[in-house]
């Protein structure tokens, strides 16, 4: 048996021996869901396992993030294994927090179980002396892009600069010492065929808060004295819809506005109407182009009705590019546990993740692995198969780390040699900050 095979076997055995503990982590986090940037209990659970595994860690990164390092005996690249701490809001989920409505309906509890299983296995098997480079175990906050106003409040208070965890961690420099990053997201047979798979890429996006401000008046007696903000919003939605012809198919543009406030009382001309939307596309250029059309539609509607529009634009996630060399390594390793014929090449995804931001800067892998039942973000979602949902991701992450960093990190060096980052960290921060500056295009009072 080669040294690499011996290391793999030792770590696999160590993880298998902790099967019950790993499942317990996944299920107890499932029962204690917390929304992004508020994942205090979940972060404490992570710290507890790091402590028990003898790992040195930093805590409180981007409010709740926890980062441990396992140092190899020789210099080499640093591979981050990541798990996301946050839940999202699905109040009707049977295991939702009754106070906050938070529920683990995206399987991030399984990511933390997988991350901590890999950490226990690699640290407790004592393989680091045979590795060149470091393994970082990174529990990251706030992947789901929710509670936008709450998070804008954090930005305004100076507690964060960005709205998602990985964005904030990049900004704060906590990825400066990381060369590549890997995570595994749960999926379910109700959503995707096969036992595992990978989309080559996902959409990026920006988000918008919009307020049309008109003039209230008695809707029966003096409607002519009012300026109807709801009519302006309706015109804006029509004008946005009329733009859809101009979006190229290959850009995969998605604009999906909602009205979050439609007026106050039925017998008063609506004076304030609020909308939110994402503007998504396959590239930054495409979503910035679509966004300028959305802004034009909003402005035009305000002009038509003689009301005012306030537009706040917030940076969302950048498109994800999965690294092909890491993808191959994932397929080989996960295939050993799930059978190679369970692998599926998914098509480009219209959804988004903040792993996308990281993937502009370094090689990143964000594959899917089955184990759940139900559909993401819905009330029927749960980890149905504990072995595949919690333990197999731990083994796969750990095996990938060994493959990358054993034998003088030859495979990790190959990943780095074949990777071209699309931007530097400074370019990334400037790109995202420039979207904040599109903010507060406080429109026209056109009366």
User: 68 near 51, Cβ under 8 Å?
Assistant: no
The tokens for 195 are: 């036992």
CA-based R_g, the chain, Å: 24
- Cβ 408 to Zn ion, closest distance in Å? 35
- Cβ 93 to Zn ion, closest distance in Å? 13
Q: In the range 5-34, which residues lie near Zn ion by CB under 5 A?
A: none
Taking CB under 5 A as the criterion, the residue among 82, 102, 106, 369 binding Zn ion is 106
Nearer to Zn ion, 207 or 240 (CB): 207
- Cβ 264 to Zn ion, closest distance in Å? 33
- Cβ 83 to Zn ion, closest distance in Å? 11
Nearer to Zn ion, 39 or 403 (CB): 39
* Contact region with Zn ion (CB under 5 A), list: 52-60, 106-114, 389-397, 401-409: 106-114
* Contact region with Zn ion (CB under 5 A), list: 7-15, 68-76, 105-113, 384-392: 105-113
* Contact region with Zn ion (CB under 5 A), list: 25-33, 99-107, 286-294, 330-338: 99-107
- Cβ 377 to Zn ion, closest distance in Å? 6
Nearer to Zn ion, 85 or 106 (CB): 106
Judged by CB under 5 A, does residue 140 bind Zn ion?
A: no
Size of the site for Zn ion (CB under 5 A): 1
Q: In the range 190-209, which residues lie near Zn ion by CB under 5 A?
A: none
Nearer to Zn ion, 106 or 227 (CB): 106
- Cβ 279 to Zn ion, closest distance in Å? 19
Map the chain to HEC letters: CCHHHHHHHHHHHHHHHCHHHHHHHHHHHHCCCCCCCCCHHHHHHHHHHHHHCCCEEEEEECCCEEEEEEECCEEEEEEEEEEECCCEECCCCCCCCCCCCEECCCCHHHHHHHHHHHHHHHHHHCCHHHCEEEEEEEEECCCCCCCHHHHHHHHHCCCCCCCCHHHHHHHHCCCCCCCEEECCEECCCCCCCCCEEECCEECEEEEEEEEEECECCECCCCHHHCECHHHHHHHHHHHHHHCHHHCCHHHCCEECCEEEECCCCCCECCCEEEEEEEEEECCHHHHHHHHHHHHHHHHHHHHHHCCEEEEEEEECCCCCECCHHHHHHHHHHHHHHHCHHHEEECCCECCCCCHHHHHCCCCEECCEECCEECCCCCCCCEECCHHHHHHHHHHHHHHHHHHHHHHHHHHHHHHHHCCCCCCCHHHHHHHHHHHHHHCCEECCCCC
- Cβ 381 to Zn ion, closest distance in Å? 10
Nearer to Zn ion, 262 or 350 (CB): 350
Using CA atoms, how far apart are residues 294 and 205, in angstroms rounded to an integer? 13
- Cβ 84 to Zn ion, closest distance in Å? 6
Sequence-distant contacts of 50-53: CB under 8 A, at least 24 apart? 50/119, 50/137, 52/120, 53/119, 53/120, 53/123, 53/124
Nearer to Zn ion, 106 or 240 (CB): 106
Judged by CB under 5 A, does residue 369 bind Zn ion?
A: no
- Cβ 430 to Zn ion, closest distance in Å? 27
Nearer to Zn ion, 108 or 293 (CB): 108
* Contact region with Zn ion (CB under 5 A), list: 101-109, 176-184, 193-201, 331-339: 101-109
Nearer to Zn ion, 126 or 351 (CB): 351
The tokens for 287 are: 């979503």
Q: In the range 295-354, which residues lie near Zn ion by CB under 5 A?
A: none
Using Cβ positions, the residue closest to Zn ion within the complex turns out to be 106
* Contact region with Zn ion (CB under 5 A), list: 3-11, 102-110, 148-156, 398-406: 102-110
Nearer to Zn ion, 106 or 232 (CB): 106
- Cβ 202 to Zn ion, closest distance in Å? 11
Nearer to Zn ion, 185 or 438 (CB): 185
Judged by CB under 5 A, does residue 183 bind Zn ion?
A: no
Which residues lie near Zn ion (CB under 5 A)? 106
């Amino acid at each position: 048996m080669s040294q690499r095979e011996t290391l793999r076997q030792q770590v696999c055995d160590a993880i298998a021996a902790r099967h019950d503990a790993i499942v317990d982590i996944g299920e107890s986090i499932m029962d204690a869901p917390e929304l992004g940037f508020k994942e205090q209990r979940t972060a404490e659970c992570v710290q507890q396992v790091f402590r028990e595994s003898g790992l040195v860690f930093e805590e409180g990164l981007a409010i709740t993030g926890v980062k441990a390092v396992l140092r190899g005996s020789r210099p080499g690249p640093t591979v981050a294994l990541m798990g996301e701490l946050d839940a999202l809001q699905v109040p009707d989920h049977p295991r939702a927090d009754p106070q906050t409505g938070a529920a683990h309906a995206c399987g991030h509890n399984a990511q933390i179980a997988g991350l901590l299983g890999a950490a226990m296995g690699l640290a407790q098997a004592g393989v680091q002396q045979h590795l060149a480079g470091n393994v970082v175990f990174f529990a990251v906050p706030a992947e789901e892009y929710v509670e936008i106003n709450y998070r804008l409040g954090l930005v305004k208070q100076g507690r964060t600069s960005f709205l998602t965890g990985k964005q904030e961690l990049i900004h704060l420099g906590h990825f400066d010492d990381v060369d590549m990053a890997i995570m595994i997201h749960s999926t379910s047979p109700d959503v995707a065929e096969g036992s595992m798979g990978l989309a080559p890429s996902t959409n990026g996006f920006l988000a918008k808060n919009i307020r049309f401000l008109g003039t209230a008046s008695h809707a029966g007696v003096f409607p002519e004295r009012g300026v109807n903000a709801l009519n302006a919003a309706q015109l804006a939605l029509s004008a946005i819809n009329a733009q859809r012809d101009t979006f190229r198919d290959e850009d995969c543009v998605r604009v999906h506005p909602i009205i979050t406030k439609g007026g106050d009382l039925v017998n008063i001309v609506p004076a304030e109407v609020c909308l939110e939307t994402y503007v998504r596309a396959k590239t930054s250029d495409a979503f910035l182009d679509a966004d300028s059309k959305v802004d034009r539609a909003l402005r035009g509607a305000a002009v038509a009705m003689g009301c005012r529009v306030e537009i706040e634009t917030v940076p969302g996630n950048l498109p994800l590019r999965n690294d092909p060399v890491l993808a191959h390594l994932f397929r080989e390793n996960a295939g050993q546990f799930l059978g190679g014929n369970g692998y599926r090449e998914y098509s480009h995804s219209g959804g988004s993740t903040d792993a996308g931001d990281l993937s502009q800067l370094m090689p990143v892998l964000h594959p899917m692995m089955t184990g759940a039942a139900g559909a993401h973000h819905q009330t029927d979602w749960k980890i149905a198969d504990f072995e595949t949902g919690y333990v197999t991701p731990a083994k796969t992450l750990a095996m990938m780390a060994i493959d990358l960093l054993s034998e003088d990190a030859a495979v990790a060096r190959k990943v780095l040699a074949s990777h071209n980052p699309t931007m530097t960290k400074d370019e990334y921060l400037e790109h995202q900050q420039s979207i904040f500056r599109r903010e507060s295009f406080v429109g026209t009072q056109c009366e």
